[in-house]
Amino acid sequence: MGTQLNSIESVKEYLIDKGINPSFQRLKIYEYLAKTITHPTVEMIFTELAKEIPTLSKTTIYNTLNLFQNSGIVSGLTIDANEIRYDPETRVHAHFKCFKCGSIFDIPVEPSYADMVIAEEHEVKERHFYLKGTCKNCLKAIET
Amino acid sequence: MGTQLNSIESVKEYLIDKGINPSFQRLKIYEYLAKTITHPTVEMIFTELAKEIPTLSKTTIYNTLNLFQNSGIVSGLTIDANEIRYDPETRVHAHFKCFKCGSIFDIPVEPSYADMVIAEEHEVKERHFYLKGTCKNCLKAIET
DNA sequence: GTATCTGCAAAACATTTGCAATTCT
DNA sequence: AGAATTGCAAATGTTTTGCAGATAC
């Protein structure tokens, strides 16, 4: 998972292991996701990587992220309409989105948490927990 | 909340109580939401209500739903990108969306559930729990 | 008669699709 | 050469915005 992949070499091995042909663009996109904690949108990924890869197109980013999602190594977060954010962390955790500054924070969850929703007889494959409100940074800014 | 509002009169009282001017369109939109368990999209609301109100426009539905959300009587569910679904139920509960048929089910949660995510020092105002997978109806269909 | 509400048409975005050019082996 | 990948341009689909006409008190 994301956090241990600090070199291009280890990203390469990781993608191969997941059955994904490690093209230059795919490596760079996964590497960027793995080192970024902000759960970026396609726009953010594009803006950042286009500095290094001037020929990069958003279509490739969309293609690549869809491929990553289908391979189960990235999940798409639809915390708000009109933007998908991408997360290379596949363990169960929650997300907090701040109304004011728009930041998204990872929030740890109790280990037993995931089991507390009884899904009747449905077969559950994904669990998403989103909290929204005002983040501690913005609260601090208001106080003063 | 939604479930007790079975007459136009009680919807009217409810909207007035929430500080919302109960226009004809607003009454009809809220009434429809309250009696519908499928968490409809704007498209679905439009298709259904346009039968009764031929002059109705989607703009009015968007305006009205945004108004309802700002007044806190409806919440918008962004379970998937590219569609917002609307829910007049404001108590904490989870939603299950079926990959196959697209249906959304309400799922009850343990009373203590909502407190199990520690949001550090963030001020939490909304909690969304989304499960995805294959619903029991689709599972049954596959068996046979 | 003035505020508000409605709804058409256009704009704004994010995402997907078709397809041609490019790259890799 | 052949298969996979990339990326431009156009299409799609949802939500928002500008504004003129209708409605209500």
Q: A80 lies in a domain?
A: no
Residue B109 lies in a domain: yes
Q: What pLDDT is stored for residue A114 in this prediction? A: 57
**What secondary structure letter does DSSP report for B111?**
T
Residues B118, B64 within the same domain: no
pLDDT on residue B2: 44
Q: What pLDDT is stored for residue A5 in this prediction?
A: 56
Q: What is the pTM of this model?
A: 0.88
B40 in helix, strand or coil?
coil
**Domain boundary residue among A75, A106, A129?**
A75
Q: Work out if B64's Cβ lies within 7 angstroms of strand C.
A: yes
Query: Which of the four pLDDT bands, split at 50, 70 and 90, describes residue A2?
Result: very low
Q: Which of A78, A131, A136 sits opposite B127 (nearest CB)?
A: A131
Q: CA dist B96 to B93, B107, B111, Å?
A: 10, 7, 18
Please check whether residues B110 and B53 belong to one and the same domain.
no
Residues B102 and B136 in one domain: yes
Q: List the beta bridge partners of residue A94.
A: A107, A129
CB contact under 8 A, B105 and A122: yes
* Residues B67 and B12 reside in one and the same domain: yes
Check if A120 contacts B (Cβ < 8 Å).
Answer: yes
CATH of the domain at A137: 3.30.1490
Task: Please determine, for residue A51, whether its predicted confidence score (pLDDT) is greater than 90.
Answer: yes
Q: What angle do CA B49, B54, B59 make, to 5 degrees?
A: 70
* Predicted pLDDT of residue A116: 60
Same domain? For B131 and B105 the reply is: yes
Domain annotation covers residue A82: no
- Average pLDDT across chain A, whole number: 89
Are A18 and A46 contained in the same domain?
A: yes
Q: Is the CB of A46 under 7 A from strand D?
A: no
Per DSSP, the three-state class of B14 is helix
Which helix H or strand E contains B84, and what residues bound it?
A: strand B83-87
pLDDT of residue A46 exceeding 90: yes
> Which tens digits make up the pLDDT trace of A87-142?
998 788 889 999 888 999 998 887 665 566 666 789 988 889 999 999 999 989 88
Which residues of chain A have a CB within 8 Å of the CB of B134?
A: 122-123, 125
In a domain? residue A83? no
In a domain, residue A86? The reply is no
What's the whole-number mean pLDDT along residues A27-33?
Answer: 97
Q: Average the pLDDT over B29-56 and give the result.
A: 96
Q: Long-range contacts of range A50-56, CB-CB < 8 Å, 24 or more positions apart?
A: A52/A28, A53/A24, A53/A25, A53/A28, A56/A25
pLDDT digits (tens, 9 = 90+) for B46-82: 999 999 999 999 999 999 999 999 999 999 999 998 8
Phi, then psi, of B138 in degrees rounded to 5: -70, -35
B23 shares its domain with B49? yes
Q: What is the mean pLDDT of residues B81-95?
A: 88
Is there a domain that residue A48 lies in? yes
Q: Which two tokens stand for residue B23?
A: 């226009």
Give strand D nucleotides closer than 7 A to any protein Cβ: 4-9, 13-18, 24
Whether residue A144 has pLDDT greater than 80: no
Domain containing residue A33: CATH number: 1.10.10.10
In a domain, A51, yes or no: yes
Phi, psi at A15, each rounded to 5°: -65, -45
**Is A103 found in the same domain as A52?**
no
- Residues 6 or more apart whose CB falls under 8 angstroms from that of A43 comprise none
Asked if residue A69 and residue A13 are part of one domain, the reply reads yes
Query: Same domain for B16 and B66?
Result: yes
CA angle B22, B37, B14 (to 5 degrees): 25
CB of A63 under 7 A from strand D?
A: yes
**Which positions in chain A touch B133 (Cβ < 8 Å)?**
119, 122-126
Higher pLDDT, A73 or B120: A73
From the CA of B12, how many Å to the nearest CA of chain A? 29
pLDDT at A113: 59
How far is residue A11 from each of residues A20, A29, A70, B59, measured CA to CA in Å? 11, 10, 18, 47
Task: Give the closest nucleotide to B76 (alpha carbon vs C1').
Answer: D15
Closest residue by Cα to residue B136 from B85, B108, B96: B96
Within a 10 A sphere around the Cβ of A120, how many other Cβ atoms?
A: 12
Q: How far is A44 from chain B (nearest CA, A)?
A: 17
> Bigger pLDDT: B35 or B144?
B35
Q: Report the distance separating Cα A143 and Cα B24, nearest Å.
A: 43
Q: Is residue A95 a contact partner of residue A106, using CB atoms and an 8 Å limit?
A: yes
Q: Let me know whether A12 and A71 are in one domain.
A: yes
> Above 80 in pLDDT, residue A78?
yes
Angle at A67 between CA A66 and CA A71, to 5 degrees: 115
Q: How many helices (H) and strands (E) are present in chain B, helices listed first?
A: 5, 5
Minimum mean pLDDT range among A5-14, A94-103, B71-80, B115-124: B115-124
Q: Percent of chain B, pLDDT > 90?
A: 66
- Give the minimum alpha-carbon distance from B35 to chain A in angstroms, rounded to a whole number: 23
Do B25 and B69 belong to one domain?
Answer: yes
Q: Does any domain span residue B1? A: no
> What is the model's pLDDT at position B42?
97
Domain ends where: B43, B75, B107? B75
Residues 89-108 of B with CB under 8 A from A: 94, 96, 98-99, 105, 107-108
Query: For residue B143, what pLDDT band results from cuts at 50, 70 and 90?
Result: confident
Q: Which domain holds residue B97?
A: 93-143
How many domains does chain B fold into?
Answer: 2
